[in-house]
Amino acid sequence: MDVKIEEQWKEVLKEEFEKDYFKNLVEYLHREKREGKVIYPPGPLIFNAFKLTPFNEVKVVIIGQDPYHAPGQAHGLSFSVPAGVPPPPSLKTIYQEIENDLHIKLHKNGNLEGWARQGVFLLNASLTVRAGAPTSHSNIGWIEFTDAVIKAISDRKQGVVFLLWGNYAKGKRSLIDQSKHYVLEAAHPSPLARGAFFGCRHFSRCNQLLEAQGLTPIDWSL
Protein backbone atom coordinates (compact mmCIF):
# COMPACT_ATOMS: atom_id res chain seq x y z
CA MET A 1 0.00 0.00 0.00
CA ASP A 2 1.40 3.38 -1.01
CA VAL A 3 0.91 5.57 2.07
CA LYS A 4 1.77 9.25 1.66
CA ILE A 5 4.18 9.62 4.57
CA GLU A 6 7.70 10.99 5.00
CA GLU A 7 10.25 8.74 3.29
CA GLN A 8 12.28 7.73 6.37
CA TRP A 9 9.12 6.72 8.20
CA LYS A 10 7.86 4.95 5.07
CA GLU A 11 10.91 2.71 5.12
CA VAL A 12 10.70 2.04 8.87
CA LEU A 13 6.97 1.25 8.80
CA LYS A 14 6.65 -0.45 5.42
CA GLU A 15 5.69 -3.80 6.94
CA GLU A 16 2.84 -2.19 8.92
CA PHE A 17 1.32 -0.71 5.79
CA GLU A 18 0.94 -4.19 4.27
CA LYS A 19 -0.87 -5.71 7.26
CA ASP A 20 -4.57 -6.42 7.15
CA TYR A 21 -5.39 -4.15 10.09
CA PHE A 22 -3.91 -1.12 8.31
CA LYS A 23 -5.73 -1.87 5.07
CA ASN A 24 -8.97 -2.20 7.06
CA LEU A 25 -8.22 1.10 8.79
CA VAL A 26 -7.83 2.90 5.48
CA GLU A 27 -11.05 1.38 4.16
CA TYR A 28 -12.89 2.44 7.33
CA LEU A 29 -11.78 6.05 6.86
CA HIS A 30 -12.78 5.99 3.18
CA ARG A 31 -16.20 4.61 4.12
CA GLU A 32 -16.78 7.31 6.72
CA LYS A 33 -15.87 9.98 4.17
CA ARG A 34 -18.27 8.45 1.64
CA GLU A 35 -20.99 8.56 4.29
CA GLY A 36 -20.41 12.29 4.75
CA LYS A 37 -18.71 12.07 8.14
CA VAL A 38 -16.31 14.91 8.99
CA ILE A 39 -12.91 13.62 10.11
CA TYR A 40 -10.14 15.55 11.84
CA PRO A 41 -7.43 16.39 11.05
CA PRO A 42 -7.86 16.93 7.29
CA GLY A 43 -6.39 14.14 5.17
CA PRO A 44 -3.12 15.88 4.23
CA LEU A 45 -2.37 16.48 7.93
CA ILE A 46 -3.00 12.99 9.32
CA PHE A 47 0.73 12.18 9.15
CA ASN A 48 1.89 15.74 9.90
CA ALA A 49 3.96 14.68 12.93
CA PHE A 50 5.88 12.25 10.73
CA LYS A 51 6.45 14.91 8.06
CA LEU A 52 7.82 17.50 10.50
CA THR A 53 9.95 15.04 12.50
CA PRO A 54 11.60 12.45 10.24
CA PHE A 55 12.61 9.20 11.93
CA ASN A 56 16.33 10.00 12.03
CA GLU A 57 15.64 13.32 13.77
CA VAL A 58 13.49 12.03 16.66
CA LYS A 59 15.03 13.02 20.01
CA VAL A 60 11.93 13.42 22.20
CA VAL A 61 8.50 11.75 22.04
CA ILE A 62 5.34 13.28 23.57
CA ILE A 63 2.35 10.94 23.42
CA GLY A 64 -1.20 12.24 23.29
CA GLN A 65 -4.37 10.18 23.07
CA ASP A 66 -6.71 11.67 20.49
CA PRO A 67 -6.78 14.56 18.01
CA TYR A 68 -8.92 17.55 18.93
CA HIS A 69 -12.48 16.95 17.69
CA ALA A 70 -13.65 20.57 17.30
CA PRO A 71 -13.38 22.46 13.98
CA GLY A 72 -10.03 24.04 13.13
CA GLN A 73 -7.99 22.59 16.00
CA ALA A 74 -6.44 19.27 14.95
CA HIS A 75 -3.46 19.44 12.60
CA GLY A 76 -1.67 16.17 13.22
CA LEU A 77 0.49 17.07 16.24
CA SER A 78 -0.38 16.02 19.79
CA PHE A 79 -1.42 18.93 22.05
CA SER A 80 -0.84 21.43 19.21
CA VAL A 81 -3.28 23.67 17.33
CA PRO A 82 -2.69 25.76 14.19
CA ALA A 83 -1.41 29.30 14.48
CA GLY A 84 -4.21 31.70 15.27
CA VAL A 85 -6.18 29.17 17.32
CA PRO A 86 -6.15 29.86 21.08
CA PRO A 87 -4.18 27.26 23.09
CA PRO A 88 -6.53 24.65 24.60
CA PRO A 89 -6.53 24.19 28.41
CA SER A 90 -3.98 21.34 28.52
CA LEU A 91 -1.55 23.31 26.36
CA LYS A 92 -1.96 26.35 28.62
CA THR A 93 -0.91 24.14 31.54
CA ILE A 94 2.11 22.91 29.56
CA TYR A 95 3.13 26.48 28.79
CA GLN A 96 2.78 27.49 32.44
CA GLU A 97 5.04 24.61 33.51
CA ILE A 98 7.63 25.63 30.91
CA GLU A 99 7.61 29.17 32.29
CA ASN A 100 7.95 27.92 35.86
CA ASP A 101 10.59 25.34 34.99
CA LEU A 102 12.81 27.37 32.68
CA HIS A 103 12.06 30.85 34.09
CA ILE A 104 11.09 32.22 30.70
CA LYS A 105 8.03 34.12 29.54
CA LEU A 106 6.31 32.59 26.54
CA HIS A 107 4.64 34.80 23.96
CA LYS A 108 3.34 32.24 21.53
CA ASN A 109 0.21 30.73 20.07
CA GLY A 110 -0.71 27.07 20.30
CA ASN A 111 1.27 25.87 17.27
CA LEU A 112 4.02 23.42 18.29
CA GLU A 113 5.60 22.99 14.86
CA GLY A 114 8.71 24.69 16.25
CA TRP A 115 9.14 21.80 18.65
CA ALA A 116 8.50 19.20 15.95
CA ARG A 117 11.18 20.69 13.70
CA GLN A 118 13.71 20.30 16.53
CA GLY A 119 13.09 16.59 16.95
CA VAL A 120 10.10 16.50 19.30
CA PHE A 121 7.80 13.83 17.85
CA LEU A 122 4.24 14.83 18.81
CA LEU A 123 2.36 11.56 18.42
CA ASN A 124 -1.31 10.94 19.12
CA ALA A 125 -2.24 7.30 19.77
CA SER A 126 -5.16 7.74 17.34
CA LEU A 127 -4.32 9.80 14.28
CA THR A 128 -7.92 10.67 13.37
CA VAL A 129 -11.24 11.35 15.08
CA ARG A 130 -14.81 11.94 13.92
CA ALA A 131 -15.96 15.54 14.42
CA GLY A 132 -17.53 16.05 17.81
CA ALA A 133 -16.93 12.46 18.90
CA PRO A 134 -13.82 12.01 21.09
CA THR A 135 -12.08 8.60 20.88
CA SER A 136 -14.40 7.63 18.00
CA HIS A 137 -11.47 6.20 16.01
CA SER A 138 -9.65 4.56 18.91
CA ASN A 139 -10.76 1.06 17.91
CA ILE A 140 -10.24 1.10 14.14
CA GLY A 141 -6.55 0.14 14.05
CA TRP A 142 -4.68 3.33 14.90
CA ILE A 143 -3.58 2.05 18.31
CA GLU A 144 -1.94 -0.99 16.74
CA PHE A 145 -0.20 1.29 14.25
CA THR A 146 1.06 3.89 16.73
CA ASP A 147 2.18 1.17 19.17
CA ALA A 148 4.28 -0.16 16.29
CA VAL A 149 5.65 3.37 15.76
CA ILE A 150 6.67 3.66 19.42
CA LYS A 151 8.26 0.21 19.35
CA ALA A 152 10.17 1.05 16.16
CA ILE A 153 11.63 4.13 17.84
CA SER A 154 12.54 2.05 20.88
CA ASP A 155 14.10 -0.77 18.84
CA ARG A 156 15.99 1.26 16.26
CA LYS A 157 17.12 4.34 18.16
CA GLN A 158 19.12 5.14 21.30
CA GLY A 159 18.74 7.75 24.04
CA VAL A 160 15.30 9.09 23.09
CA VAL A 161 13.44 10.94 25.87
CA PHE A 162 9.83 9.80 26.19
CA LEU A 163 7.48 12.17 28.05
CA LEU A 164 4.48 10.21 29.30
CA TRP A 165 1.75 12.46 30.68
CA GLY A 166 -1.31 10.87 32.26
CA ASN A 167 -2.32 7.27 32.72
CA TYR A 168 -3.02 6.64 29.05
CA ALA A 169 0.48 7.67 27.96
CA LYS A 170 2.03 5.83 30.90
CA GLY A 171 0.37 2.69 29.56
CA LYS A 172 2.82 2.83 26.64
CA ARG A 173 5.78 2.32 28.97
CA SER A 174 5.96 -1.40 28.18
CA LEU A 175 6.73 -0.61 24.52
CA ILE A 176 9.90 1.27 25.45
CA ASP A 177 13.26 -0.33 26.22
CA GLN A 178 14.26 1.65 29.30
CA SER A 179 17.77 0.18 29.24
CA LYS A 180 18.59 2.48 26.33
CA HIS A 181 15.97 5.24 26.48
CA TYR A 182 14.72 7.72 29.09
CA VAL A 183 11.14 7.77 30.37
CA LEU A 184 9.80 10.76 32.32
CA GLU A 185 6.28 10.43 33.73
CA ALA A 186 3.86 13.01 35.08
CA ALA A 187 0.17 13.64 35.57
CA HIS A 188 -1.77 14.77 32.53
CA PRO A 189 -1.70 18.55 31.95
CA SER A 190 -5.50 18.61 31.73
CA PRO A 191 -7.21 20.94 34.23
CA LEU A 192 -9.06 17.81 35.39
CA ALA A 193 -5.77 16.73 37.03
CA ARG A 194 -6.08 19.80 39.31
CA GLY A 195 -2.57 21.07 38.75
CA ALA A 196 -0.79 17.75 39.39
CA PHE A 197 1.31 18.35 36.26
CA PHE A 198 2.96 21.39 37.82
CA GLY A 199 6.42 20.83 39.21
CA CYS A 200 7.33 17.89 36.96
CA ARG A 201 10.12 19.97 35.42
CA HIS A 202 10.13 17.71 32.38
CA PHE A 203 11.40 20.42 30.07
CA SER A 204 14.64 21.15 31.92
CA ARG A 205 15.11 17.46 32.74
CA CYS A 206 14.62 16.50 29.10
CA ASN A 207 17.24 19.01 27.98
CA GLN A 208 19.69 17.78 30.61
CA LEU A 209 19.32 14.24 29.25
CA LEU A 210 19.86 15.43 25.68
CA GLU A 211 22.90 17.53 26.58
CA ALA A 212 24.43 14.62 28.49
CA GLN A 213 24.41 12.74 25.17
CA GLY A 214 26.00 15.65 23.30
CA LEU A 215 22.72 16.56 21.62
CA THR A 216 21.30 20.03 21.09
CA PRO A 217 18.67 20.82 23.74
CA ILE A 218 15.14 21.77 22.73
CA ASP A 219 14.28 25.46 22.61
CA TRP A 220 10.84 25.15 24.19
CA SER A 221 10.08 28.82 23.47
CA LEU A 222 9.78 28.15 19.72
The residues annotated as belonging to the active site are 66
Given a contact cutoff of 8 angstroms between Cβ atoms, the answer to whether 176 and 155 are in contact is no
Q: Per residue in 127-136, is it b (16+ CB within 10 Å) or e — as a string? A: bbbeeeeeeb
CA–CA gap between residue 151 and residue 149 (Å, rounded)? 5
Given a contact cutoff of 8 angstroms between Cβ atoms, the answer to whether 197 and 188 are in contact is yes
CA–CA gap between residue 131 and residue 108 (Å, rounded)? 26
Residue 186, helix vs strand vs coil:
strand
CA–CA gap between residue 176 and residue 150 (Å, rounded)? 7
The CB density around residue 218, as the number of other CB atoms within 10 Å, is: 19
The residues facing 163 across adjacent strands are 62, 184
CA–CA gap between residue 39 and residue 177 (Å, rounded)? 34
Report the Cα–Cα distance between both ends of the chain, in Å, rounded: 36
Residue of 117, 109, 66 lying closest to 86 (CA atoms): 109
